[in-house]
Amino acid sequence: MTKQQVLDLYFLDARHKLIELAAFLDRVDRATGKEDFRLPAFRAALTVLDGKKKNKATLVLRAFSDPTIVPIEKAVGKGATGAYSPPRSMRHADKSRPIPARDHSTSSKKNVP
């Protein structure tokens, strides 16, 4: 598919979603009270959309994902929150967290048809 075809098919839908994101951020900015862990994750995800980086969808998903590899002993609750909430001891003062880089080059998909 050519870039022109992709633009013709998906531009208006993407434009609509971008306007919705801007409206969401405006509502958050006007709201009172403190933010929680989700907003810094959301803002981190937005940063990967700027520029010519490849695999943007993967990077956005990682911005919301739990980067730990050791399972926790017991879940602290039921239900999803949509973003990783680091334990208090791991939270940074600036409330931002880098998007973890993962190396999938050693992935064992040899037996997958």
Beta carbons within 10 angstroms of residue 22's beta carbon: 10
| Whole-number Cα distances in Å, 82 to 2, 62, 63, 88, 104 | 33, 11, 10, 18, 23
Count Cβ atoms within 10 A of the Cβ of residue 70 and give its class: 0-12 exposed, 13-18 middle, 19 or more buried. Answer: exposed
pLDDT value at residue 70: 87
Give the model confidence (pLDDT) of 58-76 as tens digits: 999 999 988 888 888 887 7
What ranges do the domains of the chain cover?
A: 1-33, 34-67+81-99
Cβ atoms of 84 and 66 closer than 8 Å: yes
Which residues does the chain have with pLDDT short of 50? 93-113
Q: How far apart are CA 28 and CA 26, in angstroms?
A: 5
In the Cβ-directed half-sphere of 41, how many Cα atoms lie within 13 Å?
A: 19
pLDDT value at residue 78: 73
Sorted by sequence, the CB contacts under 8 Å of residue 97 that are 6+ apart come out as 40, 41, 44, 86
pLDDT value at residue 71: 85
pLDDT value at residue 91: 54
Amino acid (1-letter code) at residue 27: R
